[in-house]
Amino acid sequence: MEPKKIVREEQTSLGSIRIADEVVKVIAGLAAIEIKGMAGMSGGLVGGIAEMLGRKNLSKGIKVEVGEKEAAVDVFVIMEYGIRIPDVAAQIQESVKGAIERMTGLVVVEVNVNVQGVAFASEASDEEHRIR
């Protein structure tokens, strides 16, 4: 198992504080998935169909680029059918930005929401049952 890449390190009088990039990804995934209208995170396109990830794989639907004090985030999502995608995407952007900044101290300069698919109600509930 390879060591986690450290994206944020801070020195205090008691020692150092290190935050791994995987932590930033999980924070972003959890912040995104709680938005109403999101069916799930996308792991990419498999055979032309968006692969929906369960809660255990949230970070796989996130890409982060982190400098010393700033971060850029790409979120790959599957939306529920019938919602207004730009509205939900804007809520995802705000939620992800706020969660990362609050929990890590990084300044999030951009959150790009990439809609990879649309899930119909039966697909979303089937996935929910598989996650549990």
Q: How many CB atoms lie within 10 A of CB 10?
A: 12
Instruction: Return the pLDDT at 15.
Output: 86
Tokens 């169909």 — which residue?
A: 49
- The ranges assigned to domains in the chain are 6-131
- Output the six-digit token pair for 30: 């959890």
Gap between the Cα atoms of 26 and 32, Å rounded: 10
Instruction: Return the pLDDT at 43.
Output: 75
Pair 116, 78: CB distance under 8 Å: yes
Instruction: Return the pLDDT at 120.
Output: 86
Instruction: Return the pLDDT at 56.
Output: 60
Q: How many CB atoms lie within 10 A of CB 8?
A: 19
Which stretches in the chain have pLDDT values below 70?
A: 1-9, 44-57, 122-132
- Tell me if the domain spanning 6-131 has CATH number 3.30.70.1350: yes
- pTM across the whole model: 0.78
Instruction: Return the pLDDT at 132.
Output: 43
